[in-house]
Structure 1
Amino acid sequence: MPGQAQPQYRSRIEQVDPDGQASQPLLDDARYPGPAPDGSRFAFVRSIDRGAGIFVHSLADGSDAELVPAGQFLALAYPRFSPDGQQLAFAAVSRLAPIGRGASPLLGGWLTIRVAEAHGFPWEIWLVDADGANLRQLPDVLDDDPSVTWSPMAASC
């Protein structure tokens, strides 16, 4: 299931030669790779003990940086760099929701939890700067399984 916090299968990202003949493992326990426009790095989702997070892997030195902290969302999928490489958009299921569609009030309305709908939890589209700052949700979409992409003409939101 896309964005599943604890996948039921092992996943990995592989590097494939341009001719498609050979491949080698690049990252274990990683999924949904989204390359940066300059090809120097890619964003991906990884599940660790705290839950799923979004990380950025540098192809220059092999390091991984946590961009969206693991466990902040119930599920994550499809991190995609903006055409200028300054932001990432991704799909996520929030832990908390505002009172309204898809939410149930707790503690007199101070806290809410998501309610599963007929096809599962509703997903939202989020943006974050490429350095991990300025995390924000786009207007509600509450989609069953959104895929994220940027218009080639859109540099940022």
Structure 2
Amino acid sequence: MLLRFRLVMIVALLALLVGCGGTGTGTLGFGRTTGGGTAGAVSGCPDAPGPITGPLVFGANQNGLAAIALDGSNVMTLVKPSINDRAYDPFWSPDGKTLAYTFARPSTNPNLSWLQVGMICGLDQATGKGRVLLQAVSPSESLEDATWTPDGKGFIVTHHQPQLDSQGNYSGDDVALQRIDQGGKPQTIMKDATSPMLSADGQHLVYVHVDPNTNAMILMVAGADGRNPQALTNQRSAFITIVNPHWSPAGSQIVFTASGGASKAEAAPARGRSLVERLLGIDVAEAHGLPSDLWMIGADGQNLQRLTNKGLDDPRATWSPDGHSIVFVGGGFGGIFRIDPATKSEQMLSKQGYYGGIALK
């Protein structure tokens, strides 16, 4: 997730430089309990204050995560990181007993202290206990975008490996998808790729291919092992960025976040903030990223549709368990909404919500 945050940090670093004039994956931990870890611990994952009672988990203010009931009640802060840390990209395990998410903090490499480095943390739904699910040994490697395998015993993740020049300065970022099974070593299944998600039956993988030369993004599908990749979007789709693809429960549709997009695609009518949203205090945030909207496409690459036409700031979406609706968080614009993909009608569930993704069981 949070390619936007990475880009913002890189741009900020370059600006400072203008103003002023190792590889290898290592080993990873899987399922290690932290034993009362706190957000400030060097290698641990924080605990939630108690059992996770709400099925809907979302990115909240102060770079944390919160849970809520579908009727908007019982808001519970799950993770409240320290000022330099972030918790994002929640994803429920197939049995609904563990919430995985990315927990990132500044690199301990003194040359890369500006760079956020992620590991995969877990929260036990019944107790709120935190534990490390996946963590790289290198102080600069980052793991994020975890998607569970259907048996709940493994993950496919995005692996980031910063590249350094001869002076030890950041010169780029190699990204790849890795499969990591319990007790096994990481296996790279796709290079130049991010935002993986396995279909519910575990047979198909959707992800975003990132051209290493142009940074152009293409939505792709492949087998679970990365073989037989096929493009769902192309240059005619006119997308500038693509993130966070999510399979429908039946595996026939994919919802994703994108900026740009061909004007000829079937679109929802343009919509600003409603009177209810204004009265509830959902403010227009500063434009941290390119204006984005939610899109939907068939697993065969047909029937591309724009679901929203708001120019939101990094919205993220997931499907309801029955596949009849899509729930999304508005990113910097705030708010949690339910949208009917057939009619594109929306219902506001809560004024809560911010950057950081969304998960529903």
Which of the five TM-score ranges fits, normalised by the shorter chain? 0.7 to 0.9
Residue of structure 1 equivalent to 2:317: 148
Structure 1 position 96, deviation (Å): 6.2
- Is 1:84–1:155's contact at 8 Å kept on the other side of the alignment? no
> Does residue 308 of structure 2 align to residue 139 of structure 1?
yes
- How many Å separate the matches in 1 of 2:193 and 2:240? 17
> Does residue 235 of structure 2 align to residue 66 of structure 1?
no
Amino acid paired to 2:245: P
Alignment map for 1:92-131 (pairs within 5 Å): 92-95=258-261, 118-131=287-300
| Larger helix proportion of the pair | 2
User: Helix, strand or coil for the counterpart of 1:133?
Assistant: coil
Q: What's the RMSD between the two structures over aligned residues?
A: 2.9
- Is 2:208–2:243's contact at 8 Å kept on the other side of the alignment? yes
- How many Å separate the matches in 1 of 2:309 and 2:316? 15
Q: Could you report, residue by residue, the CA deviation over 1:84-141 in whole angstroms, capped at 9, with x for unpaired residues? A: 000000000015679x89xxxxxxxxxxxxxxx7322111000001100000101324
Amino acid paired to 2:176: R
Q: Could you report, residue by residue, the CA deviation over 1:47-82 in whole angstroms, capped at 9, with x for unpaired residues? A: 225821001011368110001115720100011110
User: Helix, strand or coil for the counterpart of 1:68?
Assistant: coil
Alignment map for 1:26-65 (pairs within 5 Å): 26-48=189-211, 49=214, 51-59=216-224, 62-65=227-230
Amino acid paired to 1:26: I
> Does residue 249 of structure 2 align to residue 80 of structure 1?
no
Distance 1:60 1:33, change over 3 A: closer
Residue of structure 1 equivalent to 2:354: none
Deviating more after overlay: 27-36 vs 135-144: 135-144
- Is 2:189–2:225's contact at 8 Å kept on the other side of the alignment? no
Q: 1:25 aligns with which of 159, 164, 188?
A: 188
Q: TM-score, normalised by structure 2?
A: 0.35
> Does residue 7 of structure 2 align to residue 2 of structure 1?
no
Residue of structure 2 equivalent to 1:107: none
- How many Å separate the matches in 1 of 2:175 and 2:215? 18
> Does residue 14 of structure 2 align to residue 13 of structure 1?
no
- How many Å separate the matches in 1 of 2:239 and 2:179? 28
Question: Which residues of structure 2 form unaligned runs of 5+?
Answer: 8-159, 161-171, 272-285, 326-340, 342-361
- Is 2:179–2:186's contact at 8 Å kept on the other side of the alignment? yes
User: Helix, strand or coil for the counterpart of 1:149?
Assistant: strand
Residue of structure 1 equivalent to 2:34: none
- Is 1:82–1:155's contact at 8 Å kept on the other side of the alignment? no
- Is 2:205–2:226's contact at 8 Å kept on the other side of the alignment? no
Amino acid paired to 1:87: Q
Distance 1:15 1:140, change over 3 A: same
Pick 1 or 2: higher relative contact order, CA cutoff 8 A, min separation 6. Answer: 1
- Is 1:77–1:91's contact at 8 Å kept on the other side of the alignment? yes
Structure 1 position 153, deviation (Å): 1.6
- Is 1:53–1:76's contact at 8 Å kept on the other side of the alignment? yes
Q: Could you report, residue by residue, the CA deviation over 1:25-45 in whole angstroms, capped at 9, with x for unpaired residues? A: 111111000111110011000
